[in-house]
């Protein structure tokens, strides 16, 4: 008990607790005086609750609560809370973020280099296009020239083969083959067609009856060829076979396939046959002397039906006419003989002295 009395005495001995109210502040506000910031009215709780209050005999002073009126100049504005927003996700870094930044000078040089490369590419493309166009134009020019040449050739060909509407057709020929040039000058040329019923010797005998005097008629013997289907001129070997004569093989090898067969009008109804053959060797006269032993018999059918008396010795004599050596053999008939000569790569054989001299005179 003593302790409790001591405690009560201590509480009563404390100075009177002064509770600060807002009466003085309201008086100041009514008088128009401003309150300093530190003296702004602070809302106090209406009741003060003491933890573990000490029992006191005296009742506490009642405090009247007055409403707090804020000063117009110090009105406190309460801001509305910001609306809640969803947190935004930061985007992942791009590839460029990992690349180190380029210095401005290096970037400029890089851009300039890119521009130069673009210019070079453009120039190369232009050059390539120019070369392509040049090649195309060149080919077009060449093609144009070729077409022009073909057109000119076609025009000239058409001009050479066109026929006028009123132009008369050319005369119909006998479909005779093209004959080579004669080895001597002749007065007439005639084709003799050989068939299986009539031989060349008979045809020549018939021709000899109508031959003019002192003239040469060239005889061109032809025969139908089953291979070509038309008339063909006899070759030298075919002529020898049709005349039924023989030629020494060594002499025949020196002959060319170029000959001229003629009929010479020596007298009325007296014709002489002559044969001119082109040779390969100019020295055939020496080789022909070995043929003289059988020449008369080998060439007997050249007399065209005449049957001269033949000597047994067959010795040839030699004469010269206008610088040409003639080898000959005479028969008892004064107008028949075998004469041959070899002037200017030619082999000439005839059946009379007069006819061989006339042939030498006609050599071109």
- List the chain domain ranges: 2-73, 188-362
CB 52 within 8 A of CB 10: no
Q: Digits of tens for pLDDT over the chain (364 positions)?
A: 555 555 555 545 545 444 555 656 666 665 555 555 555 555 555 455 544 444 444 455 554 555 555 555 444 455 555 555 555 566 655 555 555 555 555 555 767 777 777 777 767 666 666 666 777 788 889 988 998 888 888 887 777 655 444 444 444 445 667 888 999 999 999 999 998 778 899 899 888 676 678 899 999 999 988 888 888 999 999 999 999 999 999 899 999 999 999 999 887 778 899 999 999 876 788 889 989 989 999 999 999 888 777 766 678 999 999 999 999 998 887 788 999 999 989 999 999 999 999 999 999 6
CB-based contact 183:341 (threshold 8 Å): no
Whole-angstrom distance, CA of residue 213 vs CA of residue 268: 6
Three-state secondary structure along 150-175? HHHHHHHHHHHHCCCCCCCCCCCCCC
Separation CA 186–CA 363 (nearest Å): 10
- Assigned token pair, 227: 């291979």
Nearest Cα to 222, choosing from 257, 183, 192, 246? 192
Rounded to the nearest 10 degrees, the angle between the axes of helix 200-208 and helix 236-243 is: 80
Among 152, 155, 260, 150, residue whose Cα is nearest residue 216: 260
CA dihedral (168, 170, 172, 178) in degrees, to 10, reads 180
For Cα atoms 214, 216, 221, give the angle at the middle one, nearest 5 degrees: 150
């Amino acid at each position: 008990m003593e302790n409790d009395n001591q405690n009560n005495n201590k509480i009563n001995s404390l100075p009177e607790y002064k509770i600060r109210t807002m009466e003085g502040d309201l008086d100041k506000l009514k008088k128009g005086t401003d309150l300093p910031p530190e003296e702004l009215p602070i809302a106090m709780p209406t009741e003060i609750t003491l933890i573990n209050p000490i029992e006191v005999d005296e009742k506490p002073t009642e405090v009247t609560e007055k409403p707090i009126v804020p000063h117009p100049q110090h009105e406190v504005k309460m801001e509305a809370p910001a609306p809640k927003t969803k947190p935004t996700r930061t985007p992942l870094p791009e590839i460029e973020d990992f690349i180190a930044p380029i210095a401005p000078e290096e970037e400029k040089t890089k851009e300039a280099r890119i521009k130069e490369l673009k210019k070079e590419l453009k120039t190369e493309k232009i050059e390539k296009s120019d070369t392509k166009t040049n090649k195309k134009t060149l080919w077009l020019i060449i093609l144009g020239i070729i077409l022009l040449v073909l057109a000119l050739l076609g025009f000239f060909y058409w001009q050479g083969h066109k026929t006028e509407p009123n132009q008369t057709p050319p005369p119909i020929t006998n479909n005779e083959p093209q004959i080579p040039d004669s080895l001597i000058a002749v007065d007439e040329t005639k084709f003799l067609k050989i068939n299986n019923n009539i031989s060349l010797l008979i045809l020549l005998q018939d021709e000899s009856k109508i031959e003019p005097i002192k003239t040469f008629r060239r005889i061109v013997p032809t025969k139908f060829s089953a291979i070509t289907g038309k008339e063909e001129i006899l070759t030298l070997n075919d002529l020898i076979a049709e005349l039924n004569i023989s030629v020494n093989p060594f002499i025949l090898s020196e002959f060319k396939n170029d000959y001229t067969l003629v009929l010479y009008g020596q007298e009325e109804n007296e014709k002489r046959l002559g044969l001119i053959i082109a040779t390969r060797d100019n020295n055939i006269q020496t080789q022909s002397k070995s043929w003289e032993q059988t020449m008369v018999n080998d060439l007997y059918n050249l007399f065209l039906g005449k049957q001269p008396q033949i000597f047994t010795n067959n010795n040839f004599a030699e004469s010269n006419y206008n610088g040409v050596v003639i080898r000959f053999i005479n028969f008892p008939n004064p107008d028949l003989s075998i004469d041959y000569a070899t002037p200017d790569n030619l082999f000439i054989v005839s059946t009379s002295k007069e006819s061989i001299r006339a042939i030498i005179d006609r050599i071109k």
